[in-house]
Chain A
């Protein structure tokens, strides 16, 4: 059974660095074809793909945010991390991690999301 779950600070101040963790089970990121992505959604708005990391350690970023994003994974291949530097109010959103269908491109499993509020 594939499950993913995001965790984060809940609230942080502008200009700080946001650190998010995606913990998953039911698959290993070391398996060929596996990719985990981060996606965010401001309240009442659409979804924005942020970044991805694959089984080989290759990383992919949304160019609109690339300079502020860092995606990584742990050595046990059961967690993926996202850091966003210099956050501001516009980064307030629910952040999701999702598994990309192996050797596909669409997301077949999503976590429940973690809400992040940027406020002074």
Chain B
């Protein structure tokens, strides 16, 4: 299985601050990476797919980058509604695997 190592486990940011979350795959996943946001008690919501494509309706302050084994999600200007847990997902090989999550809070 491809292991997805996500960091940091938690993050606290001020309003307007830029934050970054990283995911490292145990092997090359050829940009087959997606990012999800999950709010408390809700199902995950797709933010980014194919490493850098923004899902329809997602604010442009969210962006993704990376290639090979290293990927990152950036939020340019933290907003209150961005609080939640963020997960990466690799779709290069079955079984699909998720990162361990990053809990993002407002400072």
| A residues adjacent to B (C-beta < 8 A) | 37, 46-49, 60-64, 96, 98, 101, 104-108, 110-113
Residue total for B at the interface (Cβ-Cβ under 8 A): 22
The 4 closest A-B CB pairs, nearest first, are A105-B91, A110-B43, A106-B34, A49-B96
Q: At the interface, is chain A mostly helix, strand, loop or mixed?
A: loop
C-alpha gap A98/B49 in the complex (Å): 15
Interface residues in B69-107 (C-beta closer than 8 Å to A)? 87, 89, 91, 94-101
B46 interface hit (Cβ, 8 Å): yes
15 additional contacts (CB under 8 A) given A46-B99, A98-B43, A106-B46: A46-B100, A46-B101, A47-B44, A47-B87, A49-B95, A60-B94, A62-B95, A63-B95, A96-B43, A96-B44, A106-B89, A107-B34, A107-B46, A108-B46, A112-B43
C-alpha gap A2/B97 in the complex (Å): 24
Interface residues in B4-55 (C-beta closer than 8 Å to A)? 32, 34, 42-46, 49-50, 55
